[in-house]
Chains A and B, each alone.
Chain A
Amino acid sequence: MPSPPAKKISPAEGRGLYGGYGGRYVPETLIPALEELETGWRAALADLDFISELNELLANYGGRPTPLTQAMRFCPEKRIYLKREDLLHTGAHKLNNALGQIVLARRLGKKRIVAETGAGQHGVATATVCARFGLDCVVYMGVEDMRRQRPNVERMQLLGAEVRPVEIGTQTLKEATSEAIRDWITNVETTHYLIGSCVGPHPYPEIVRVLQSVIGRESREQILEREGRLPEAVIACVGGGSNSIGMFAGFLDDAEVKLYGVEAAGAASLGSGRVAILHGARSLVLADEDGQIADAHSISAGLDYPGVGPEHAALRDSGRVKYLPCTDDEALAAFERLTKTEGIIPALESSHALARALDTDESLIVVCLSGRGDKDLDEALAQLGRRA
């Protein structure tokens, strides 16, 4: 059985601050809802009924613990292990967070759920848990992402969710998130905003981190069991940063374990962003000198986001985590290579982490395989065909 969520929350995090990042930059209308959410969250964490309900769902509905698979043919020179979040129900790590938040939303008495989605994985996870518990579900999705991730749109609709196309601005995750927040402002009394990444106003970054930390906790136990030692490095992809923050949470205190976050080169908030405010939090963001938010560019819809969770910004500043870029071409090559050598089709997002696992100095590595790649076949095959 999975162990309970880590309850370790620092005093600064308790106020939503990560080395000056984070906070609550939202209209006053939402503040009482954020306070209600925070109070409900603290009460839930202290309640064994919440913990055991969540653990039961994670195990018997979600399929946890997920396996740790050694990828021997992918990279024979190294010992690379894959944390198989692609085998979690719905095909990505997003379900960990969606299950936790839906149990929380029910405790708060909310009947309606709104969410944003980029690649569609969070939207599918949210639609899934809403179907499971019989709650109304509205998912905002940019029309560009709806085109790139058509199978996920169909899955959400089949699950009973209403997918609302977002046609403004960049028509991707950034605009979908803004629209979901605007919906929440409008329907705040009946609605829970089920955010999909460790971004947004306090307490969302903390909630998502704690709910995703099951990835790192399991990985640490599993690698110790398999190798009798900790890995030299842990690698995960970073869009908003939820699979990586959950993975890193298991290893932050192990100083000898190097941590690498991998960003899409065209959406590298941590690599080339500046301090700015987006979606209710102060963090590192692709923005211009006036604070206007810039467009991100990535082949992977899940990484196509100009911001990143505030805790990642603090981890970059402290040097505990090193953030590396990965180009579309490198990610596609890793996508193809894992598929051909291991019989595992990875999500394009996770392929960014796989690409860097091949060329870092360390040789005993755990990579978070955050999701499966079925959703990406159209996009990946078209791109690979073009490059052939």
Chain B
Amino acid sequence: MNKKLVIFLMSGRETPELAAAAAQGGADLIELGFPFSDPLADGPVIRRAAERALSEGMRTKACLECLAEIRGRVQVPLVPFVYSALLEAYGHKRFVADAASAGASAILVPDLPVDSHPELRRIQLVAPTSTDERIRLAAATTDGWLYLVTLTGTTGARTELSSALAGLAERARHLAPPELPLYAGFGISTPEHARAAAEIADGVIVGSRAIEVAEDGPEQLRRYVSSLRESVDAAR
């Protein structure tokens, strides 16, 4: 089975072009960040990107427009990454409907634990600290694939791939339905990390480093994503 590569980008005026470059470079899915003023799950790079996006006026409606514009340019699935504060203000049902009509294939809410708002269908996240019971519940209710948070911490590049990933992936394999894909994210930044993570999981998610590279423009991003693609494809 082909391992999947997910690239995270923050909503913004340049993002449709960046998304097209990421897709050209070989991204299988794009996670689109909706900026929030107080993002508890995010490290400094994504936090700064969110501050910039907000100062450019990227509020929920503008992010949905950005999503629709990306949908017009790329074929890969698109997933908004959106904090519960934004959903609370916009309305859960209204958000799901508007995101779907803008071209989203699922949503991801980093601060909504699996047992709250069960009616809101979303990609669930599990962490190394999650109990077996919670992993089972997340796997049973997730929308398409399960997000393995590789470490206890916030988003952002680390020097090494978290050693907690292997144990978490093993537990999740055991507890999840047999065909459920498991994608690993948080702290994955280099092609070496991506390859190592792809040997454990079915897909890898790269965020902070992609945001940093994207600051140098779409061509740099395309090349960086290609290098990740090659590493992920080389995984056993």
Interface string of A154-187 (1 = CB under 8 A from B): 0000000000000011000010001001100111
Closest to A170 in B: B37
Contacts of B179 in A (CB 8 A): none
Pick from B85, B90, B130, B138: contact of A32, CB below 8 A: B130
The answer to whether residues A280 and B88 also contact, given A26-B111, A32-B131, A185-B152 and a CB cut-off of 8 A, is no
Closest to A30 in B: B129
Q: Is A23 an interface residue (CB 8 A)?
A: yes
Q: Is B59 an interface residue (CB 8 A)?
A: yes
Pick from B84, B129, B154: contact of A277, CB below 8 A: B84
The answer to whether residues A276 and B127 also contact, given A25-B116, A292-B54 and a CB cut-off of 8 A, is no
Q: Is A28 a contact partner of B38 (Cβ separation < 8 A)?
A: no
Q: Is B154 a contact partner of A291 (Cβ separation < 8 A)?
A: no
Q: Is B88 a contact partner of A282 (Cβ separation < 8 A)?
A: yes
Number of interface residues of A (CB under 8 A): 35
Q: Is B152 a contact partner of A24 (Cβ separation < 8 A)?
A: no
Tell me the A250-301 residues at the B interface (CB within 8 Å): 275-280, 282, 287, 289-293
A275 vs chain B, min Cβ distance (A): 7
Chain B binding surface, main DSSP class: loop
Contacts of A291 in B (CB 8 A): 36, 60, 85-90
Q: Is B36 a contact partner of A292 (Cβ separation < 8 A)?
A: yes
Q: Is B234 an interface residue (CB 8 A)?
A: no
Q: Is A28 a contact partner of B134 (Cβ separation < 8 A)?
A: yes
Interface residues on B, range: 35 or more
Q: Is B122 an interface residue (CB 8 A)?
A: no
Q: Is A28 a contact partner of B154 (Cβ separation < 8 A)?
A: no
Q: Is A31 an interface residue (CB 8 A)?
A: yes
How far is A188 from B153 in the complex, measured between Cα atoms in Å? 9
Interface string of B73-103 (1 = CB under 8 A from A): 0000000000111111110000000000000
Interface string of B90-127 (1 = CB under 8 A from A): 10000000000000000000111110100000000111
Q: Is B38 a contact partner of A279 (Cβ separation < 8 A)?
A: yes
Q: Is B41 a contact partner of A185 (Cβ separation < 8 A)?
A: yes
Q: Is A28 a contact partner of B125 (Cβ separation < 8 A)?
A: yes
How far is A27 from B86 in the complex, measured between Cα atoms in Å? 15
How far is A278 from B37 in the complex, measured between Cα atoms in Å? 10
Pick from A24, A185, A289, A293: contact of B38, CB below 8 A: A293
Interface string of B11-30 (1 = CB under 8 A from A): 00000000000000000000
Q: Is B40 an interface residue (CB 8 A)?
A: yes
Q: Is A185 a contact partner of B84 (Cβ separation < 8 A)?
A: no
Q: Is B89 a contact partner of A276 (Cβ separation < 8 A)?
A: yes
The answer to whether residues A185 and B154 also contact, given A32-B130, A291-B88, A292-B36 and a CB cut-off of 8 A, is yes
Q: Is B154 a contact partner of A186 (Cβ separation < 8 A)?
A: yes
Closest to B111 in A: A25
Contacts of B149 in A (CB 8 A): 27-29
Contacts of B130 in A (CB 8 A): 28-29, 31-32
Q: Is A31 a contact partner of B85 (Cβ separation < 8 A)?
A: no
The answer to whether residues A25 and B112 also contact, given A33-B129, A291-B86 and a CB cut-off of 8 A, is yes
Tell me the A1-45 residues at the B interface (CB within 8 Å): 23-33
How far is A178 from B60 in the complex, measured between Cα atoms in Å? 22
Q: Is B51 an interface residue (CB 8 A)?
A: yes
Closest to A293 in B: B37
Q: Is A169 a contact partner of B40 (Cβ separation < 8 A)?
A: no
Q: Is B86 a contact partner of A31 (Cβ separation < 8 A)?
A: no
19 A-B pairs with C-beta separation under 8 A: A25-B116, A26-B40, A27-B41, A28-B138, A31-B113, A31-B130, A168-B47, A174-B38, A182-B154, A186-B152, A188-B129, A277-B84, A277-B88, A279-B38, A290-B86, A292-B37, A292-B54, A292-B85, A293-B38
